[in-house]
Amino acid sequence: MVNTTLAATLNPRTWRTQETHDKYEHGRKADLTNADYCPMCEAETIKEFTHWRIIENKYPYDAVAQTHHMLLPTRHCLESELTAEEIKELLEVKLSALDTTYTFIFEALPREKSVPGHHHLHLLKTKKVG
């Protein structure tokens, strides 16, 4: 038997407040109408490394996260197109620059990515429970 309460808490679709989810759905539909537009390429950089940068997530998982940023390559590319240098720096960034700021780093599998053309990882600092 599946615990539906646990399943709901593990579903990223429930990690946004209703207000943020509605903005996300509206924004996603608008972004899909322009094939040449990448919201991640247009986002302001919070912190930049040689091959990677951190941006604010426009539609954060605000029901569960105190902070929700994204880590993405400085160039528009898929994960399969990352160079050895980019992969090496990603490992360095994950082990050093992110460890003291965030609680989790994760990525959606291909079928769940809302921006499938630009590789990205989600960086979360979760809210305190209780």
Q: Tens digits of per-residue pLDDT, 44-97? A: 999 999 999 999 999 999 988 999 999 999 999 999 999 999 999 999 999 887
Do residues 71 and 93 touch, judged by C-beta distance below 8 A? yes
pTM, two decimal places:
0.84
Strands 121-126 vs 65-73: parallel, antiparallel or unpaired: antiparallel
The residue extents of the domains of the chain are 4-126
Please check whether the domain covering 4-126 is classified as CATH 3.30.160.60: no
> Token pair 């700021």 is at which residue?
101
